Structure 1
């Protein structure tokens, strides 16, 4: 059996294991070991299994990643996502589509805290999605806004994705973070513009909120 076919089979096995609620790390490790042993040989696969985990965990360059995750956990436990959304809602909530603008804005700020798109989307969805549904927003607009806003975590520094990219390409992490500032802010601005244009063209997707005191 050729290598591409072995790769497709291993990916299918991994997805099946994940579907049956096996831990993702275990699913990837098992299929990676089996696939490498099938393509190369069993003994080199055992050698990699013996040394690769220690090499990855002892690499100082990867140490910021758990710190970013810890920072995101602290922000979530401190209800910072709720406070960010409430603050942005005070600014934009009285406009038509203002809550969607508040969701995008708070996603951008939370991205600068957690460094992760998944953490941003998950945290802000728990806060903003029920609020927008309760105020008569279209589900498509609400979920699309949060999904798009979550992607800002890739670009706005500190970003885990930019950190990994810098390590893989052997570039300066600081330069990567600086390079992500302007594209991240442009993404935030254009997401807000997209929301404003959408609710202007399709007013039924969103309702204006109450003006704050």
Structure 2
């Protein structure tokens, strides 16, 4: 059996293990170890595993992941998520579809504190879904709004997706964070436009909420002010060159911890829960990264990686068409594969193609993260959809996926606009303090 055939068999085994619900990191590591053992020997396989694990444990850049996860968890327990939603609702909740729009705005704000799509969807869903139910919103559309808004968690900085992409491609984490700001705002605007169109065409789906007084609006806005201070201190510090991404993450943790202590919302029980959640998420990320770093050498040695690159580059298509094809692969696999696993599996394969085509790697990173976002709400898996469904178990998944469709169209329009105007993503990184 040739090395290339062994590589194909390894990919087939990987997907079989994933179908059997094997944890992604373990599945990748098992296939990588088995493949290298067959191609070389057991000693080479164990050496690859031990070396990659040790080197990743020493990568200080990875500390950003637990820091930002902890920051998001602290922001949730301190009540900032509720404050963000209340402030958005105070200004636009009285409009038709206003509660759904407030949910999108709240998700956008919380994304700047969390870096996780699932965390954004769960946290804002707990706040927004009861309110939309009280005003008799269509429950499928309500859940879809939360699931779609939550996807912004891995695009708007800080983003764990950008951190992994930067480590895989040796790009600047700070530049990737800043590159996600304007595309994130663009998608937010497209989501708000989508809600306005749906509410105008089907008023019963998203009725108006209650109009608040000027005093109530002012009070709600002031309660959300700590959020602005944290975001300016973290993301703004990176953009201005005051902090490195790692320093920014540490400052964000300290700031959100101070807010939680000041508001007396941090108790021994919920602090213990926050620590467990942070450790669990961090271990999951590390396991996936280690598994991918064992699998990728096997794929490279089998010749599968170079074959994919040569095949894609030989296709009679221009750079834009090739880029669309690669993004389509990300979206297709994202319909049934976990986003981070797909990132660490596909980026090393397609990144050489992108560089050969002359595509800016920062721009490609933004497009890849948006492709991951689309996968988060696309059937049959749509992780964000199933996370939100857990909050509304009586709502059929089919109703939520139907409600998601307009948001998926909005995201595809966003990808089209970015391809037409790459400076949407590249302008802020080009103006960063160096």
TM range (shorter): 0.7 to 0.9
Q: CA deviation at 1:191?
A: 1.0
Change (3 A) 1:32 1:131: farther
Aligned to 1:94: 94
> Does the aligned pair in 2 maintain the 1:97–1:196 contact within 8 Å?
yes
Normalised TM-score (structure 1)? 0.87
Work out the CA distance in 2 between the residues paired with 1:17 and 1:35. Answer: 20
2:15 equivalent to 1:11: yes
Aligned to 1:148: 148
> Does the aligned pair in 1 maintain the 2:14–2:28 contact within 8 Å?
no
Where does the alignment leave 5 or more consecutive residues of structure 1 unmatched? none
Work out the CA distance in 2 between the residues paired with 1:28 and 1:168. Answer: 16
Q: CA deviation at 1:35?
A: 4.7
Aligned to 1:169: 169
2:65 equivalent to 1:65: yes
Q: CA deviation at 1:140?
A: 2.5
Work out the CA distance in 2 between the residues paired with 1:15 and 1:32. Answer: 17
- Deviations along 1:149-200, one digit per CA (max 9) or x if unpaired, are 1121222122222222233222222222222221111111121111111101
Change (3 A) 1:185 1:170: same
Normalised TM-score (structure 2)? 0.45
Aligned to 1:201: 201
> Does the aligned pair in 1 maintain the 2:104–2:192 contact within 8 Å?
yes
Work out the CA distance in 2 between the residues paired with 1:36 and 1:153. Answer: 36
C-alpha RMSD of the superposition: 2.1
Where does the alignment leave 5 or more consecutive residues of structure 2 unmatched? 214-434
Greater relative contact order structure (CA < 8 Å, 6+ sep): 2
Misfit runs of 4+, over 3 Å: 23-41
